[in-house]
Amino acid sequence: MTQENLQICHHPLASDALRIVRDEATPSPLFRDAIHRLTVLAALEATRTLPTRSTTVQTPLVSASAEALDVRVGIIPILRAGLSMVDPVLSLIPRAEVWHLGLFRDEQTLEPVTYYSKLPEAQPVDVALVLDPMLATGGSAIAAFDKLKSWGVKDLRFLGILAAPEGVQAVAASHPDVSLYVAALDDHLNDQGYIVPGLGDAGDRAYNAVAE
């Protein structure tokens, strides 16, 4: 199952990093490193169409034509797991603004619950990159898109690692204008709302919070 706005990163480096994050024996430092690499690959695709403006720079030899990024970019990680994806995107867009959204999934209803949201009252960014390793039911992503659109953001793009068909379908139904960039589209969600085959709880594994 695919949909028009879903972009999957088909790259040997992504395949290798996916192997690492799926492996339950991978320790947290190596898990975070693989998430970093996957995020960079997804971000390169997600930012490919950002607008630029023509300018000139003075090299040590001559004046040369150049292109400058001509857009305000906001990085919006969905806490907690989305934090593991912030630094890789900032390494590509150092001037990007970072705003946090705290959402957790109710284990009974599988619906998102907001516990932190503090977007500024100032003019919204031009492009918002929403970060969350997992697009499962799609509830948290949809809630984030709702808040960002209410803020006034016109261009929303989602960066993740894994997506479930159910989440992709839910986003397409609620926000068909949002593009999704992930490393893999997995098979399905289980009864607990986890992606299968998946990689477990990305936040717990990234921050060494897996119960023994």
| Cβ atoms of 112 and 97 closer than 8 Å | no
H-helix segments, 100-164: 139-151
Q: Angle at Cα 138 formed by Cα 46 and Cα 175, nearest 5°?
A: 65
Asked if residues 117 and 102 have their Cβ atoms less than 8 Å apart, the reply is yes
Write the DSSP symbol of residue 130. Answer: E
Q: Are strands 162-163 and 134-135 parallel, antiparallel or unpaired?
A: parallel
> What's the N-to-C CA distance of the chain in angstroms?
36
- Active site amino acids: 105, 109, 201, 204
